[in-house]
Copies of this chain bind each other. A is one copy, B any other.
Amino acid sequence: MALSLKQIEKISKALGDANRLRILQHISKKGGCGQCSEIQGLIDLTQPSISHHIKILIESGLIEPEKEGRNLKYTLNERLFKDYTASVTQLKF
């Protein structure tokens, strides 16, 4: 599915930060991310900052939150990754 220019802009912005890229990499590696405070070990930011970055990723649609028992789990929205890269390649939005 082709995305709108606004969607491409929002997703690109979400991808335009080293910390958020690291979070995505981590989630990707784990196929989700059980205890999300793992990320605090990964990137050197306080908990509220990490929460803020995760919010931006969720709002872009790139990840989706899910309850996993007591904690939250975030999963990549692979459909949207595909639509994004296809749209960017074609520059049609």
Contacts and interface: CB of A to CB of B under 8 A. Distances in A.
Contact of A5 (B8, B21, B86, B91): B21
Nearest to A17: B9
Interface string A61-93: 000000000000000100001101110110111
A39 B25 CA distance: 37
A59 to B, nearest CB: 14
A24 interface: yes
Measured as residues with beta carbon below 8 angstroms from the partner, the interface class of chain A is 20 to 34
Contact of A81 (B22, B24, B89): B89
18 contacts: A5-B18, A5-B22, A6-B18, A8-B15, A9-B16, A12-B12, A12-B16, A13-B13, A13-B16, A15-B15, A21-B91, A24-B91, A25-B92, A28-B91, A76-B91, A81-B89, A85-B85, A85-B86
